């Protein structure tokens, strides 16, 4: 499998401030890449650029060989099949877990129409399989608002899986989770998303150690380092600008990032 995502000198500024500058990133098909860095490093901005939420000042984005620079979010999602999970769970709170999954299927159904007719048989079966995989089969008829924060995060991951994207972007998928939920999320990503192309933005270094192979470190809008996790954790500059402070935040008595 070859390269599926590439950025070339990707840059964007806001009011004269360069949030991202000259970022070159290459991700292979089937790879799980983790992006880390201090707050304000440009991680979310990079995801916004890839998914078309913002346009670059200059630079290019290529996906599956096509230039998607400046494409609309809808086109990036529908035509190029790039799916994104944001930091907080984005689910339909007053629909059941099963209904959230069937609604996420790419069959061009609207929210009102979902109440008027049943989902196609294949969609229902796929939703059932994913509910089992994300550990929510016993809660399939529970309203999303009745689920715990971690369960809603898993439900949104399941909604992404229903769309079968070629690239899954997970923006801080463990935000707000308990330690056990975070560990379960790591297991889920390793087991369920194996073979998929996944781009993860995360602060929790214990979680990063659980899932990462290749890590890209952003700092002040630029790529500071990139490589295997072991090398990244022993890079003096990465330790100085990020890992040292991250370790302090993870110690007992400190709030997590």
Residue 216, beta-bridge partner list: 35, 226
Dist. CA 150–CA 23, nearest whole Å: 32
User: How many structural domains are present in the chain?
Assistant: 1
Dist. CA 105–CA 160, nearest whole Å: 9
Give the per-residue pLDDT at 86: 85
Task: Quickly state the pLDDT bin for 247 (edges 50, 70, 90).
Answer: low
- Percent helix, strand, coil in the chain (nearest 5)? 40, 25, 35
pTM here?
0.87
Dist. CA 185–CA 197, nearest whole Å: 17
Residue 50 lies in a domain: yes
Residue 105 lies in a domain: yes
Cα angle 195, 198, 204 (rounded to 5 degrees) comes to 120
Residue 171 lies in a domain: yes
Percentage of residues of the chain with pLDDT beyond 90: 79
Residue 48 lies in a domain: yes
pLDDT tens readout for residues 163-196: 999 999 999 999 989 999 999 999 999 888 888 9
Residue 196 lies in a domain: yes
Q: Following DSSP, what letter does each residue of 173-235 receive, concatenated?
A: TTTT--HHHHHHHHHHHHHHSTTSEEEEE---HHHHHHH-SEEEEEETTEEEEEEEHHHHHT-
* Mean pLDDT within 19-28: 97
Residue 11 lies in a domain: no
Residue 243 lies in a domain: yes
Task: Quickly state the pLDDT bin for 251 (edges 50, 70, 90).
Answer: very low
Least confident of 86-90, 165-169, 216-220, 228-232: 86-90
Domain that holds residue 105: 31-56+68-207+233-250
**Phi, psi dihedrals of residue 227, rounded to the nearest 5°:** 155, -170
Are 189 and 32 in contact, with CB atoms under 8 Å apart? Answer: yes
Residue 88 lies in a domain: yes
Give the per-residue pLDDT at 109: 47
What is the 8-class DSSP label of residue 118?
P
CATH number at residue 46: 3.40.50.300
């Amino acid at each position: 499998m070859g390269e599926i995502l590439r950025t070339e000198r990707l840059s964007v500024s806001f009011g004269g401030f360069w949030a991202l500058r000259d970022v070159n990133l290459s991700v292979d098909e089937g790879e799980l890449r983790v992006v880390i860095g201090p707050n304000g490093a440009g991680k979310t901005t990079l995801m916004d650029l890839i998914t078309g939420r913002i346009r670059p000042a200059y630079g290019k984005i290529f996906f599956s060989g096509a230039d998607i620079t400046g494409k609309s979010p809808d086109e990036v999602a529908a035509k190029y099949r790039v799916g994104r999970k944001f930091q907080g769970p984005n689910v339909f709170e007053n629909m059941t877990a099963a209904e959230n999954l069937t609604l996420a299927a790419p069959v061009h159904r609207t929210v009102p129409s979902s109440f008027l007719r049943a989902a196609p048989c294949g969609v229902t079966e796929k939703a059932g399989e994913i509910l089992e995989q994300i550990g929510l089969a016993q809660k399939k008829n529970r309203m999303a608002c009745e689920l715990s924060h971690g369960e809603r995060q898993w439900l949104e991951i399941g909604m992404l899986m229903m769309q079968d994207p070629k690239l899954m972007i997970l923006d801080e998928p463990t935000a707000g989770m308990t330690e056990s939920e975070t560990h379960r999320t790591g297991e889920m990503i390793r087991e369920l998303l194996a073979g998929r192309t996944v781009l993860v933005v995360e602060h929790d270094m214990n979680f990063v150690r659980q899932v990462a192979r290749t890590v890209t470190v952003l700092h002040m809008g630029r790529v500071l380092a990139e490589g295997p996790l072991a090398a990244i954790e022993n890079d003096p500059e990465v330790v100085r600008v990020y890992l040292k402070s991250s370790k302090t935040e993870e110690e007992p008595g400190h709030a997590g990032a």
